[in-house]
Amino acid sequence: MALPASFKQFGFVSAANVRPARGLMLSLEGPRDTGKTEFSLSAPGPGVVLCLDRGFDAVLDNAEPPPTRRDDFGFKVIKVPKLTSATQDEFKQYWVDYRKSLYAALDNTDARTIVMDGDSDSWELQRLAAFGKLAQVPPHLYSEANAARRALYARCYDSRKIVIGTSKVKKEYVDKVDDRGKPVIGESGRPEQIWTGDYERQGFRDQTYVWNVELRTLYNEEKQRHGVRVLACKANMAMRGMEFWGDECNFESVMAALYPNVEREEWGF
């Protein structure tokens, strides 16, 4: 049954049109060469990839790409200079260009998926634009940069597109303790640290609230196959820790498991 004309006059729409496209914020983190970009290219197209992570070109050199790789993704490479080879003003311009390209992609009605290939790198670029350096910046100066970052993620969320942010990881360390549970102090006068055996995502720290789904890419050298592990899924936390390997390591298979009530057509396939 159609809605009365008076409803439309005041901006009310039917339930089917409240959410015309299913949006998704997906974080994809992992060590280098574990398939972050390749997994992203299995998402619904047409899509665009903003490349800040210089490791993407190895994917394009793959002579035998997986059958799930889409061929309707466009790429834009933003070659940001190294820290020691550019001024703060130059970094500011690179940041403005990156943000402008991202927002243009989010506004593009033809684009179903947006991939920020190097989301952790884009946070580094934003900090270089704001401070001209990455270290020894007083915490109180981060208020404006943090607010701008949250606004960027909000803009991504509001686009109602599938937005994938890939991030590098670093080893996670904790203080080493003695038999009494007290920190072991090293020669530097600081507590010694040991690797927990796990990794943590690089980039903007206050971003866990942003992502609907958080995945970590994996690679099994013995079996020479890629996989992903579910770190979090707000809609289905029972799936935390589940892994998808080989032919199941792609966007459609993972979403079918995490969102069993969502038809593949809703994602854009």
| Cα 262 to chain centroid, rounded | 22
What confidence tier does 186 reach under pLDDT thresholds 50, 70, 90? confident
Looking at the predicted structure, is the pLDDT value of residue 91 above 70? yes
- For 47-74, give the DSSP string: EEEEE-SGGGHHHHT-SS--TT--S-EE
CA distances from 164 to 15, 27, 100, 143 (A): 27, 6, 17, 25
**Which of 73-77, 83-87, 200-204 is modeled with the greatest confidence?**
73-77
How far, in Å, CA of 37 to CA of 55, rounded?
9
Q: What is the pLDDT of residue 219?
A: 92
Helix 88-107 to helix 143-158 angle, to the nearest 10 degrees? Answer: 20
**Which of 55-59, 60-64, 140-144 is modeled with the greatest confidence?**
140-144
- Average the pLDDT over 143-153 and give the result: 95
Specify whether the CB–CB gap between 149 and 123 falls below 8 A. Answer: yes
- For 95-148, give the DSSP string: HHHHHHHHHHHHH-TT-SEEEEETHHHHHHHHHHHHHS-SSS--GGGGHHHHHH
Say if domain 20-170+208-267 classifies as CATH 3.10.20. Answer: no
How far, in Å, CA of 132 to CA of 219, rounded?
36
Query: pTM of the predicted model, to two decimals?
Result: 0.86
Looking at the predicted structure, is the pLDDT value of residue 20 above 70? no
Helix 143-158 to helix 119-131 angle, to the nearest 10 degrees? Answer: 140
pLDDT tens digits, 237-247: 999 999 999 99
- pLDDT above 70 covers a percentage of the chain that reads 95
Give the chain's largest Cα–Cα span.
77
- pLDDT above 90 covers a percentage of the chain that reads 62
- Average the pLDDT over 112-125 and give the result: 95
- Average the pLDDT over 81-97 and give the result: 88
pLDDT tens digits, 208-218: 889 999 999 99
Q: What is the pLDDT of residue 15?
A: 64
Of 228, 254, 264, the residue nearest 44 (C-alpha): 264
